[in-house]
Chain A
Amino acid sequence: MADQPFWNPKTETLPREQLRELQLAKLRRQVAWARSRSPHYRRTLRDVDPDRLRSWDDLDRLPFLTREEWMAGQETHPPFGELPVVGPEAAIRVHTTSGTSGRMPLRALDGRKDWSWAAEMWCYALWGAGVRPHDVGYVAFGYGSFIGFWGLHGGLEKLGALAVPGGAQTTASRVQQIVDFGATVVASTPTYALRLAQEAESLGVDLPGSAVHTLILSGEPAGSIPETKALIERAWGAKAFDTAGMTEVSTIVMFEPANQPGGCHVIEDHFIEQVVDPSTGLEVGYGERGERVCTSFGRSTTPLIRYRTADLVVKVPGATAGNGRTFDLYEGGIIGRVDDMKLVRGTNVYPGAIEAIVRGHAGIEEFQVRLEHLDGRDEVILLVEPHPALPEDGWSALERALATDLADAHEGLRFLLRRAETGSLPRFELKAKRLTDLRAEQRAAAGVPELSV
């Protein structure tokens, strides 16, 4: 069994035509279930006949669901809103979003089968990355109400690996536990993988010399930014695998396989993933950037049908991964958010593109981006915290090289670089927040009218 590369050989290699048939068969049942049981879908799917959903084009007959609708339902029908088909008495768990965006957390219920399924989705990723029953998995995560890596913990147990819960620990304690327990697999956000490596270095712990051979990353797009991933892999002496999911489905939707093809396979026997133009809602073709729209077959308590995720992706055929899977691939994983593009003096600025450039330079511990309106014009300020071991004369060279690369990648837009003191920039255990846009309030304070674009 351990030699089998696929967790589910039957569906992971299913010919595309049959995969579509399987998805449509499940879709008909899911739509019937949702419209008969959920107050929300009773309204929105009232005019949809599930039996007439026979082709991919029929998906267009299903209305989108947005995060705003979900949250509005939570406001008017607290605490769980109108999407669930049952109340908390029929569930065994409740989880929430991380709350890092500053918005009210979304709350979601899971039943027994739902929770087994959430762990199952992580098994596709763990097994696909080469994790096996003999492995020791360390979960560097706080185990609060945020769903985070709870499902991964269940997945490790399900496939028979030893799961080590790393909750309620300092970063130093986690580093020590990783060594003490002989962890071979570590799960964390990409940002926290770097933080753990920094802490290990300061403690004199040789992570590349440790037993860790695999990192399972999730929670941020950085897991598929090649420069960040390379930095993490060097710091750990281990292979890093990206995954992505969301609280709305309770688990992950995509995973990077062992041959690291530069993207993540969608778990298509359990999800329908469409990519649409964010402005028109119309599906775009392979190779075109668009917004992920997710339909899940997993969660019985809270059906998710055509959910607008606001994640930006580029879908390509699964065959391009060259590993035998037929599941479509998101090239570069999740490459950003629909709303994270910033316009600075006519140039598009993406946080992910900045991170790729910053992480491509050695000697940087942490960074922050601030968009400010200074002396009558918009500026991008990059706060850089160099590695403590960077020699005094190293900063000038680093500053020059970074400024040049950033300008070259942004149509000549000049970034203002500032050196931050060691340990002065924020560190993150969950999702990192590295961009702050202060322009609107600064313009308002200066009496400058808001821009229309």
Chain B
Amino acid sequence: MSDATDLLGTPLTDDERALLASYDGLRALLRTDLAPCAAAGVRAALAHLGVVVTDLGLRYDHLLDDGV
């Protein structure tokens, strides 16, 4: 797997690349000093997006260390 392929080594579509960028962006946000309302919302969003990237076979991560 690389940033350009899914777990099966298939090249990503444009939509999949955009989804992964959003996913990585949300994870990066959690490493910043967000207000509680923002951090909780980002975690909630990341929970759903984490499932999406797993569903599509793009990534398979456990996010407990991110509080998700």
Binding site for B on A (CB under 8 A): 8, 10-11, 18, 21-22, 25-26, 29, 33, 85-86, 90, 111-113, 115-117, 120, 269-270, 297, 300-301
Assess whether B51 is in contact with A117, with CB atoms less than 8 Å apart.
yes
State the B residues within 8 Å of A (CB).
1, 7-8, 43-44, 46-48, 50-51, 54-57, 60, 62-64, 67-68
A29's nearest neighbour on chain B, judged by CB, is B60
A269 to B48, CA, bound (A): 17
Q: Please measure, in the bound complex, the distance between the C-alpha atom of A25 and the C-alpha atom of B51, giving whole angstroms.
A: 16
Residues of B within 8 A of A297 (CB): 54, 60
CA distance A45 to B7 in the complex (A): 24
- Rounded to whole angstroms, the CA-CA distance of A8 and B62 in the bound complex is 21
Asked if residues B50 and A301 are in contact (CB atoms below 8 Å), the reply is no
For residue B58, which residue of chain A has the nearest CB? A10
The smallest beta-carbon distance between B28 and chain A, in angstroms, is 17
Contact of B47 with A112 in the complex, beta carbons under 8 Å: yes
The 8 Å CB contact of B64, one of A22, A25, A85, A117, is A85
Contacts A8-B55, A22-B7 given: A300-B64 contact, CB under 8 Å? yes
Determine the distance from Cα of A117 to Cα of B57 in the docked complex, in whole angstroms.
14
Asked if B67 and A11 make an inter-chain contact with CB atoms under 8 angstroms apart, the answer reads no
Q: How many angstroms between the C-alpha atoms of A270 and B56 in the bound complex? A: 11
Contact between chains at A90 and B67 (CB < 8 Å)? yes
B7 touches A113 (CB 8 A): no
Q: How far is the CA of A25 from the CA of B55 in the complex (A)?
A: 13
The 10 closest A-B pairs by CB, nearest first: A112-B47, A300-B62, A116-B47, A113-B47, A113-B50, A112-B68, A25-B7, A116-B51, A113-B68, A120-B51
Residues of chain A with a CB closer than 8 A to B44's CB? 112
Q: Which residues of A sit under 8 angstroms from B1, Cβ to Cβ?
A: 25
Chain B residues within an 8 Å CB radius of A8? 55-56
Which of A22, A85, A116 touches B57 (beta carbons < 8 Å)?
A22
Residues of A within 8 A of B60 (CB): 25-26, 29, 297
Q: Can you list 6 A-B contacts (CB < 8 A)?
A: A11-B56, A18-B8, A115-B47, A116-B47, A116-B51, A120-B51
Q: Given the complex, which residues of B lie within 8 Å of A26, measured CB to CB?
A: 7, 60
Q: How far is the CB of B56 from chain A (nearest CB, A)?
A: 6
Which B residues touch A90, using CB under 8 A?
Answer: 64, 67
- A112, B67: Cβ atoms under 8 Å? yes
A298 to chain B, nearest CB (A): 8
Query: B47 — which chain A residues lie within 8 A by C-beta?
Result: 111-113, 115-116
Q: Which residues of A contact B46 (CB under 8 A)?
A: 112-113
Of B8, B43, B54, which one neighbours A117 at CB under 8 angstroms?
A: B54
A113/B8 in contact, CB under 8 A: no
Other A-B contacts than A29-B60, A111-B68, A301-B64, 14 sampled, CB-CB below 8 A, are A8-B55, A8-B56, A11-B55, A11-B56, A11-B57, A22-B57, A25-B7, A111-B64, A113-B46, A113-B62, A113-B63, A113-B64, A116-B48, A116-B51
Q: Which residues of B contact A29 (CB under 8 A)?
A: 60
CB pair A300 B63 closer than 8 Å = yes
Chain A residues near B64: list those with CB within 8 A: 85-86, 90, 111, 113, 300-301
Distance in Å from the Cβ of B48 to the closest Cβ of chain A? 5
Q: How far is the CB of A161 from chain B (nearest CB, A)?
A: 16
Q: How far apart are the CA atoms of A21 and B1 in the complex, in Å?
A: 12
Report the Cα distance A90→B62, complex, angstroms: 12
Instruction: Return A156 CB to nearest CB of chain B, in Å.
Output: 15
Q: Which residues of B contact A18 (CB under 8 A)?
A: 8
Q: Are B51 and A33 neighbours in the complex by a CB distance under 8 Å?
A: no
Interface centre among B7, B44, B57 (most CB of A within 10 A): B57
Complex partner residue of B8 from A21, A33, A86, A120, CB under 8 angstroms = A21
Instruction: Tell me the minimal C-beta distance from B12 to chain A in angstroms.
Output: 12
Q: Provide the bound-state CA to CA distance between A23 and B12, in Å.
A: 19
Is there an interface contact between B56 and A10, defined as CB atoms closer than 8 Å? yes
Q: Write out the residue numbers on chain B whose beta carbons fall within 8 Å of the beta carbon of A115.
A: 47
Neighbouring A residues of B51 by C-beta, 8 Å: 113, 116-117, 120
Most buried by A among B47, B50, B57, B62: B62
Which residues of A have CB within 8 Å of B57? 10-11, 22, 269
A112 close to B43 (CB less than 8 A)? yes
Q: Which of B50, B62, B67 contacts A116 (CB 8 A)?
A: B50
